[in-house]
Chain A
């Protein structure tokens, strides 16, 4: 057997000069982490505590092998009977019985009951080899799962024989050229209870199921992968009716391509405030604000506008049910139900406490992949509770996933009262490209809503506080009154505007009065001038009369004198 194994190994190495060839698992995310899947033709150890999903993982590997890659598989189960297995994985939507019927899958239940077995003398596990070999050869299997082979240790006494036989078994599996998964129960201080990781050392994957704050999160880690690089972190994974999906952590580098295109916010006044008349496509937007400031309304405005452009939107709701959102948004004039009917909009609603934060993320990632939206909304991120470092890291991942796919992501966050940022806001603020803060202004016995742009990367934007109103035709932006007394909103603004109008009117009236007075004065002066002139003319006229009279008198006088002289001369 040993000689055969060496021969097989060398021939395999020769035919594989560049890199290890891999067998894809077909599990979303896992193939990304392992850069292609499990090592082809080698056994992989899948270990974890009870209830981690080892069997489901292994079964998914087999079912995907048949359905996606055309590779038949053998499941040798040491714990569950074939019928139980079929029932258990039916919850993932796998029709195992049908695969068995089609001779694509063989399920062999190995049953060992210590009480029924007496050991007398030397033995080996050739029987297991024969069974497995027969099962593999009968359908030409390429994939094999041994679940959980360590059950042998509780059924048989001679561990020395078991260990040497297991070592032989794994070598034999390599010889067979099948890609195998061996599952193992997590043991104290070692990966498996009986330390079989010692024999299966090509690839080891550890599943974990941790409870923090009464919330369970499943995680997966590639402990080792001989001959291949792999993701080294713990990755959350999800088991639900759509099967298993693993959330790959973001690419390490910030290399995603970005868009220079703008997308409307759905609020024309807000578009005006942003230098490029909207958000950048593929950017992350945070809308934070107190309760009742209209965060969801802004989000819906954006979704509404996107759907009207014919883009696909996915709305993750964590506080309201989809029906409630649709009803409420109808009151501000957004007919979201039309978009749902046309298939452009879809809601995914879940209670934040349903899973751990990372599980939510895993689920969202899968939904994003399935729905392929251009726009997503997460309403709100503040609904999540957990350690801030975890929230931060997972939101980074979500934002990164969206950016790498060119999805415009809008997050809302509920602020607590006062100026302090909430935990979730602070942790994500650096991730956000545009941050709109919605505020309440309370004065004169009323509350009014204003918004301002805290930041908006890569564009000039308004720095002004702007008042907005939620009308039944959407969000309406109003110019806020900014004066010496600060920002006035609502009726205070209206009153101030009225006061200003009044003051303007009285100024106008004063001017008018002044103008009339001047006119009157001018008229008076003109009149005086006319009077004076008339007086002067009278005087001149009198003067002329006098001169005339004088001249006449002179003339008369002269005549008189000559007459008198004549009289004196002639008559004397």
Chain B
């Protein structure tokens, strides 16, 4: 499931909250600026990676900072694209177009399920 926020009506947290995160729910947010090649690559890479490793237990927000620049300061965004793991805690960040899957998995602290496709 991918939720792309196009305007500033940004939803702070998933309503499901902690219980789901404890059960392994991943709440990921990807910050991009416009439809640049890097942004598109990052979105595609992230989607593939989540399907492969976190199928069924993740949500992704894509925040376009050209639309909602006021959100940049809140999550301490400097580099773009930035992927933020909001849940489960602690907060983790991965920057770049996410082309290096290994680094993303390390960054998000995701242990691939044994038996799942790699």
Residues of A within 8 A of B73 (CB): 108, 131, 134-135
Nearest to A106 among chain B residues (CB) is B73
Segment with Cβ contacts to B, from A120-128, A433-441, A460-468: A120-128
Q: Is the CB of A134 within 8 A of B72?
A: yes
Is A118 located at the chain interface by the 8 A CB criterion? yes
A152 touching B78 by the CB < 8 A rule? yes
Number of B interface residues, CB 8 Å?
35
Which chain B positions have C-beta within 8 A of A126? 33, 65, 79-80
Expressed in whole angstroms, the Cα–Cα distance for A524 and B100 within the complex equals 149
Alpha-carbon distance A133/B98, docked complex (angstroms): 26
- Please name the residue on chain A nearest to B33 by beta carbon: A126
In the complex, which residues of chain A have a beta carbon less than 8 angstroms from the beta carbon of B78?
Answer: 110, 112, 125, 127-128, 131, 152, 155-156
Interface hub of B45, B78, B80, B103 (most chain A Cβ within 10 A): B78
By a CB distance below 8 angstroms, the chain B residues around A130 are 33, 65-66, 69, 72, 77, 80
The verdict on A127 contacting B92 (CB below 8 Å), with A112-B76, A120-B103, A122-B99 known, is no
Check B100–A127 contact: CB distance below 8 A: no
Task: Tell me whether B104 is interfacial, beta carbon within 8 Å.
Answer: yes
Chain A contacts of B55 at CB under 8 A?
Answer: none
Known: A119-B94, A119-B95, A130-B33. A124 touches B72 (CB 8 A): no
Contact residue among A111, A123, A134, A135 (Cβ-Cβ distance under 8 Å from B79): A123
Q: Is B57 an interface residue (CB 8 A)?
A: no
Bound-state Cα–Cα, A67 to B118, Å: 61
| A117 close to B (CB within 8 Å) | yes
Q: Which residues of B contact A110 (CB under 8 A)?
A: 76, 78
Q: How far is the CB of B75 from chain A (nearest CB, A)?
A: 9
Decide if B77 touches A131 in the complex (CB within 8 Å): yes
Q: Is A213 among interface residues, defined by CB-CB distance under 8 A?
A: no
CA distance A111 to B79 in the complex (A): 12
Check A240 for interface membership: any CB of B closer than 8 A. no
Q: Are A127 and B80 in contact (CB under 8 A)?
A: yes
Nearest CB on A from B100, distance (A): 4
Tell yes or no: A253 within 8 A of B by CB. no
**Given known A118-B103, A121-B100, A156-B79, contact A127–B72 (CB-CB < 8 A):** yes
User: Would you list which residues of chain B between 62 and 101 have a CB under 8 Å from chain A?
Assistant: 65-66, 69-70, 72-73, 76-82, 91-101
- Shortest CB-to-CB span from B35 to chain A, Å, is 13
Complex CA gap A117/B91 in Å reads 10
Q: Interface residues of A toward B: which range?
A: 20 to 34
A341 contacts chain B at the CB level, 8 A cutoff? no
- Distance of B16 from chain A, by nearest CB (Å): 24
Please give, as numbers and ranges, the residues of chain B lying within 8 Å of A118 by CB-CB distance: 92-95, 103-104, 106-108
Chain B positions within 8 Å of A152 at CB level? 78
Interface residue A101 (Cβ < 8 Å from any Cβ of B)? no
Cβ–Cβ contact B99 & A127, under 8 A = no
**Cβ-based interface call for A116 (8 A):** yes
Q: Is the CB of A117 within 8 A of B93?
A: yes
Q: Inside 8 A of A155's CB, which chain B residues have their CB?
A: 78
Q: Known contacts being A111-B76, A120-B98, is A127 close to B31, with CB within 8 Å? A: yes
Minimum distance in angstroms from B108 CB to a CB of chain A: 8
Give complex CA distance A116, B98 in Å: 16
The docked-state distance in angstroms from the alpha carbon of A504 to that of B19 is: 123
Q: A155–B41 Cα gap in the complex (Å)? A: 24
The residue of chain A having its C-beta at the shortest distance from the C-beta of B38 within the complex is A122
Q: How far is A127 from B33 in the complex, measured between Cα atoms in Å?
A: 8
Cross-chain contact of A134 among B69, B82, B108 (Cβ < 8 A): B69
**Contact partners of B103 in chain A: CB under 8 A:** 118-120
List of B residues within 8 angstroms of A117 by Cβ: 93-95, 107
A124 to B97, CA, bound (A): 10
Q: CB distance B70 to A134 under 8 Å?
A: yes
B64 to chain A, nearest CB (A): 10
Q: Which residues of chain A come closer than 8 Å to B97, judged between CB atoms?
A: 120-123
CA distance A111 to B82 in the complex (A): 14
The CA-CA distance from A281 to B44 in the complex, in Å, is 82
**Least CB distance, A172 to chain B, in whole angstroms:** 13
The CA-CA distance from A314 to B81 in the complex, in Å, is 62
Indicate which residue in A111, A121, A128, A133 contacts B99 across the interface (CB closer than 8 Å). A121
Considering residues A121, A124, A135, A152, which has the most beta carbons from chain B within 10 angstroms of its beta carbon?
Answer: A121
Q: A118-B106, A119-B103, A120-B107 are in contact. Are A125 and B69 (CB under 8 A)?
A: no
Instruction: Give complex CA distance A111, B73 in Å.
Output: 10
Contacts of B107 in A (CB 8 A): 117-118, 120
Please encode chain A, from 302 to 313, with 1 for each CB lying within 8 Å of some chain B CB and 0 for all others. Answer: 000000000000
Q: What A residues does B100 contact at CB under 8 A?
A: 120-121
> Hey, which chain A residues are within 8 Å of B95, CB to CB?
117-120, 123, 156
Closest to A165 in B: B79
A152 and B42 CA atoms in complex are apart in Å by 22
- Nearest CB to that of B36 among chain A residues? A126
CA distance A128 to B82 in the complex (A): 12
Cα of A338 to Cα of B99 in the assembled complex, Å: 81
Contact B66 A121, beta carbon cutoff 8 Å: no
B84 CB, nearest partner CB in chain A, Å: 10
Residue of A112, A116, A121, A124 touching B91 (CB-CB under 8 A): A116
Q: Provide the bound-state CA to CA distance between A130 and B107, in Å.
A: 24
Residues in chain B near residue A122, CB distance under 8 A: 38, 41, 96-97, 99
- In the complex, the 7 A-B pairs of residues with the closest C-beta atoms, listed nearest first: A118-B107, A121-B96, A121-B99, A134-B69, A127-B77, A120-B103, A121-B97
- CB pairs A–B below 8 angstroms (28 shown): A108-B73, A116-B91, A117-B107, A118-B103, A118-B106, A119-B103, A120-B99, A120-B101, A120-B107, A121-B41, A121-B97, A122-B97, A123-B95, A123-B96, A123-B97, A124-B79, A124-B80, A125-B78, A127-B72, A127-B77, A130-B33, A130-B77, A130-B80, A131-B77, A134-B72, A134-B73, A156-B78, A156-B79
Q: Given contacts A112-B78, A117-B94, A152-B78, could you give 17 more A-B pairs where the C-beta distance is less than 8 Å?
A: A116-B93, A118-B94, A118-B103, A120-B101, A121-B97, A122-B41, A122-B99, A123-B96, A123-B97, A124-B38, A125-B79, A126-B65, A126-B80, A127-B77, A130-B33, A131-B78, A135-B73
